[in-house]
Structure 1
């Protein structure tokens, strides 16, 4: 009985409205993250071209994979949103909620940005080549995912991840 009084004392009239608010906030924030990753993926070629001019003048960025890269990003975004909905109940478990959210963001960032960066480095993107360096790519993805917890900085997180993966893949290609 006291638990019910506590729930009605909260700013929501019912538990239903409270959970609906949380689901809405969660979906909107994840949609913002997916949108930022998508925009970064869409504009990765011009972004990386400017980085290339400064740091890799002797090399050339491959520009043949733009549409395939966008298709890959759309596929990963849909999978991410479905996984987010499935994992939503886990967000009510303290500590596990942070681990689950970071894991979801890391997967999205790793899968999308490693492909984008590899598409700008290699003539033919081989998943085996990316898998050989999975630890470094996961570390870059983890660092990029942490940006999503800091307002304002989260806008720059995907760009940091894209540039970092490009630099890393360029350095191991040499």
Structure 2
């Protein structure tokens, strides 16, 4: 779908500049193509956890670029349009004590993110967007590791893979919705 539309999308009023759309497409492809890091001196489990944290970070940056490409200034608008039930269920099953999410929350300072993470911990509604954004922030700023507070790197991998899957689904839907305007623009009789 992207290959069919990204080259013309940036030449229309429906999308941001071609440079911005191309940057999104490059980040999206990179995130989807990421297979892992080669780490020396780390166990396979820890490496798997670092791969998962890196992968969710790459997917989050692709999502940020998508928002720029489709001219969405407030990501919460997108957050309200999607269901997160399957993703949240996978995360809760992987870490029933919320060790990982509590560890992430400990380092978050933004009140709206903390509130969403509290909601998740209390089995309330939360978006995968908030979880992915929080993980990316805490991972890149240092305190988040695949075995933070005794969390299993396997659980971290499962959580991150669920978040990546959710982000890809959201990006695919949002880009397709924006691209539907291109179809109408270039095929008005369709």
TM-based fold match above 0.5: no
Where is the helix percentage greater, Structure 1 or Structure 2?
1
Q: Report the TM-score when normalising by structure 2.
A: 0.33
- TM-score normalised to the size of structure 1? 0.35
Q: Higher Cα Rg: structure 1 or 2?
A: 1
